[in-house]
Structure 1
Amino acid sequence: MEGKHAMERNQGMKGVPVAFFLKSLLFSYILTGALLALLAFLLYRFGLGERVVSIAIIAIYVVATFFSGFVAGKRMESRRFFWGLLMGSAYFLVLAVVSLAVGKGDVQVGKSFFTTLALCAGGGMLGGMLS
């Protein structure tokens, strides 16, 4: 019982609510999956070009990180931009780790790697600022 009271006190403090952070991150990946499924349907139905699909994937990353940053900013009452930036960066980190784990290990860190990092972090930060 004492552990429950200690947890309630910790949530009242300005600490990081890890469970909320993970739930928000999970939901942003569920949103990503749903939007990618919609994109796959549109690709199948209309035969979208490679350039359109690439732009749509970037937009999906930004929308998902914007949402997670917005929710984090609403929950945390100060430094909202920071919490949004943190959510966007965590989203990218998980994305990069999964890509490395699924790939054959010969992933090149190039321009698109840093561009995707900037878009994810920026999307989350914008969401936090507008919350």
Structure 2
Amino acid sequence: MRVKGQKSGVMRIFQALLVSYIVTGILLLVLAVLLYKLNLDKGKVTAGITGIYVVSAFAGGFLIGKLQKVRKFIWGLILGMLYFLLLVLVSVGVYHTLQGDTMQIVTTLILCAAGGMLGGMLS
């Protein structure tokens, strides 16, 4: 039985995912400004995007860990994987195909999952 005012696990996950995507949006905006101002090359932009994925998954994992209070690293791992899944769904929705080769996709999955799990552990 749930106590009135207590959030369900699903709502907490949505809340943490929302925070992750807000962080993603803000950091992508910063990266776009840096790209415009500094004429960054493709390697630096790719590294920046990868870093944004990890930081965003970390932020969501940290929040879900704070909200759940038990098995924080598992919740962070789940959040990181859901974050990645939404990235893939958006990419397929926009481009009608996956961007990058299999190794890049698997690496991104691992980085998102690890970032979320680390955030959960440190929460």
Task: Tell me the TM-score normalized by structure 1.
Answer: 0.85
Among 45, 55, 71, which residue is 2:47 paired with?
A: 55
Secondary structure, counterpart of 1:96 in structure 2: helix
Q: Does 1:79 align with 2:74?
A: no
User: What residue is the counterpart of 2:12 in the other structure?
Assistant: 20
> 1:128 and 1:106 mapped to 2: Cα distance?
28
Structure 1: state its 5+ residue gaps. Answer: 1-5
Among 8, 12, 15, which residue is 2:3 paired with?
A: 8
Amino acid at match of 1:8: V
Q: Does 1:101 align with 2:88?
A: no
Displacement after TM superposition at 1:11 (Å): 3.9
In 1, are the aligned partners of 2:88 and 2:98 still within 8 Å (CA)? no
How many residues of Structure 1 are paired with residues of Structure 2 in the alignment? 123
Amino acid at match of 1:74: K
Displacement after TM superposition at 1:104 (Å): 2.6
Amino acid at match of 1:89: M
> 2:99 and 2:63 mapped to 1: Cα distance?
32
Task: Tell me the TM-score normalized by structure 2.
Answer: 0.90
Displacement after TM superposition at 1:78 (Å): 1.5
Residues 6-32 of structure 1 deviation map (CA, whole Å, 9 limit, x = unaligned): 6536948xxx52112101101210110
Listed as ranges, the matches of 1:36-51 within 5 Å are 36-51=28-43
Query: Taking every aligned residue pair, what percent have the same amino acid on both sides?
Result: 46
Structure 2: state its 5+ residue gaps. Answer: none
Q: 4+ residue stretches of structure 1 with deviation over 6 A?
A: none
User: What residue is the counterpart of 2:118 in the other structure?
Assistant: 126
Displacement after TM superposition at 1:76 (Å): 1.4
Change (3 A) 1:46 1:60: same
In 2, are the aligned partners of 1:82 and 1:125 still within 8 Å (CA)? yes
Over the residues paired in the alignment, what is the CA RMSD in angstroms?
A: 2.0
> 1:106 and 1:51 mapped to 2: Cα distance?
20
User: What residue is the counterpart of 1:3 in the other structure?
Assistant: none
